[in-house]
Structure 1
Amino acid sequence: MDLKEYLNRIGFTGQYGKADLDNLFTIHKLHVMNIPFENLSIHSGEKNTMDLHIIYVKIVKSNRGGWCCENNHLFSWVLKEMGYKFTILGSKVFNSLEQEFLPMDSHLINLVEIDGKQYIADVSFGVSYQIWHPLELISGKDQPQLPGVFRLINNGMQWVLEKTSRKQLVQDKAFANSSLIDKRLTKTLYSFTLTPRDVDHFRETSDCLQTSPDSLFMLKSICSLQTPTGFRALIGWTYSEVTFKEDSDLMDMKEIPDCEIEALLREKFNLVLVNKFTPKNNKADYCI
């Protein structure tokens, strides 16, 4: 495993000798712009793993993406190699249908400390809810980024991340009532505590998320990548190109036939899958 190879993968060309805030912001944004949030392995007859070396080969050498237990686990290694002081945390994703947080820590994130301040680094939540830069761990402060305004709320031992978005404008009226469209302007994303976790904490959850028939990641194939002006996403057969504007998000959506999926993944996400991929888009609590 080679830090320089990872930095080349994300297109970092600066000096990486300083574990400072500028470099953290830069590598965080470059990661989400160049490495997709995706669960396509599950729908290609493969299994996701918590083995860091396998994750490195998949994402860095094989030019793939991954879900949070892969992307953020790899990012933990990057933080360590670059000399940052960090802690792995576990978070509980909010289920908007049930109006409650999931019971297990299904989302791995990193807490980074620089010059006495703490920041949440999360390079793998995807779609419109992906932070481009780490968020300062301070309660109630609006932290605007191009995707929207993010906010961390402290409720005693628990922290909650929420996001206020712009209105989503769907270009093709055929998709106006798509379940992928989120009409709520403010959405709760996940909660977490500052209890340090290690990788073993997520192994059982990782297995569950790719085997349970009720898991979002079993019900839907997901691939998203941030762009300088928004993001791209392929959910099942539905492809979306989203452009962030000052007062709205323009949603250009269309259905992709099976015969064009492989080419689209290559052209829009720079992904080439080794095994046969079977898209899925079953009913689940998921919006873009």
Structure 2
Amino acid sequence: MDVKRYLSRIRYHGDTRPTLENLRAIHLAHMLAVPFENLSIHCGDEIVLDLQLIYNKIVVKRRGGLCYELNGLFSWLLKQLGFSSKIVSAQGYRPLLEVYGREMGHCLNVVSIGGEDWVADVGNMCLFRAPIRLTEDQEHTDVTGTYRLRLEGDMWFLQRLKRSASATKLENACYKFKAAPGGTQGNDMASSRQWVTKYKFTLQERELQDFGKACNWTQQFHHVFSVQPVCVLHLADGLITCMGRELTTARYGIRVTMATRRLESDDDILKVLRDTFGVKLDKHLVIKD
């Protein structure tokens, strides 16, 4: 790995010593520079979980990727910088069906610094931007919401405080599902606050290749990613999502404001990917209407 080139790709020019402050800064820089995207699937390319291929795609060709690619490569970077990091697997919660998704359906990193563990995830679509301390019931707030971790046996649950209707609408647009009753867990009766589980995970260390079958399944059968192209990028004050022919821009504040427009032609989509997300494709992108 050419570490300097990777850091240049994410526009990070600060200190790289393995400290919590630097982890936070590198994590944020990564999310603001590298999109979550599944465009390879819709360009007829197979996503192979080989770190050198992923490095070439994300750093050299300046693309984005799925969680396996983004967090797998990020783990490699952290280790090159001297951080103690491991990959773990997670299962996302599906509120419509009120079930958890496939095992190995998501991957993330757990980073140890000074005797404490931190959850780092640069491969999520619209969740936290700063690492979360691996401790139970400690609230973590950033621009995207307020989070906590719960522990049952050896299983950790990432939860986000239920948000306003506008913020929920943003997430529904991001993941392309309709709001449904229920899907919330951990009702805090003392404050009448509700927490929504996003995914669950254990601390069992995994190798990137362990996610190969799940990655293949995602490319072929995932209810969103196998159906239409998706590209999501965090902004300093919001989030921008291109899904199929819809471009949605959200701005965070006291309330989440959203604007959506339809991209009528394939050329419009390619222009948005290039000018807004910094993604240039070298193969034909298939968009299903």
TM-score normalized by structure 1? 0.88
The answer to whether 1:245 aligns with 2:253 is yes
CA distance in 1, matches of 2:176, 2:82: 43
Alignment of 1:63-102 (within 5 A): 63-102=62-101
**Alpha-carbon distance in structure 1 between the residues aligned to 2:14 and 2:180:** 40
Equivalent residue, structure 2, for 1:125? 124
Query: 1:98-247 to 2 correspondence within 5 Å?
Result: 98-126=97-125, 128=126, 130-164=127-161, 166-169=163-166, 186-212=195-221, 214-246=222-254
Asked if 1:59 is matched to 2:61, the reply is: no
Cα 1:256/1:4, change in 2 over 3 Å? same
- String of CA shifts for 1:125-166, please: whole Å, max 9, x gaps: 11x3x2111000011121000111111111111111111254
Q: Pick closer, same or farther for the CA change 1:169–1:199 going to 2, 3 Å.
A: closer
Q: Quick one: structure 1 residues 280 and 112, their matched pair in 2 at CA, closer, same or farther if it must change by over 3 Å?
A: farther
Taking the aligned partners of 1:220 and 1:193, their CA distance within structure 2 comes to 30
**Post-superposition, which runs of at least 4 consecutive aligned residues in structure 1 deviate over 2 A?**
164-170, 178-187
Task: Give the corresponding residue for 1:257.
Answer: 264
Write the distance in 2 (CA, Å) between the matches of 1:229 and 1:186.
Answer: 23
The offset of 1:187, in angstroms, is 3.0
| Residue identity opposite 1:91 in structure 2 | A
Deviations 1:2-52 (A, max 9, x none): 011000111111122x10001100110000000000001101111111010
Across the two proteins, how many residue pairs are aligned to each other? Answer: 271
User: In structure 2, what is the equivalent of residue 38 of structure 1?
Assistant: 37
Query: Match of 1:86, SS?
Result: strand
How far apart are residue 251 of structure 1 and its match? 1.1
* Percent of pairs with identical residues: 31
Say if 1:168 and 1:251, in contact at 8 Å, map to a contact too. no
CA distance 1:251–1:168, shift in 2 (3 Å): farther
Q: 1:123 to 1:182 in 2, by over 3 A?
A: farther
Note the alpha carbon deviations across 1:224-264, whole angstroms, 9 max, x for none: 00000011001111111000012x21111111112311111
SS at the partner of 1:225?
Answer: strand
TM superposition shift of 1:209? 1.1
Over the aligned positions, Cα root-mean-square deviation in angstroms equals 2.1
Q: Which runs of 5+ in 2 are unaligned?
A: 182-193
> Hey, what does 2:275 align to over in structure 1?
267
Answer yes or no: is the 8 Å Cα contact 1:168–1:181 preserved in 2: no
Q: Distance in 2 between matches of 1:183 and 1:20?
A: 41
| 1:277–1:60 CA distance, 2 compared to 1 (3 A) | same
Amino acid at match of 1:279: I
1:14-25 to structure 2, matched below 5 A, reads 14-16=14-16, 18-25=17-24
The alignment partner of 1:219 has SS state of coil
Point out where structure 1 has 5 or more consecutive residues left out of the alignment. 282-288
Inter-partner Cα distance in structure 2 for 1:6 and 1:66:
15
Query: Aligned partners of 2:179 and 2:258: how far apart in 1?
Result: 11
CA distance in 1, matches of 2:108, 2:119: 7
2:184 paired residue number: none
When normalised by structure 2's length, the TM-score is 0.88
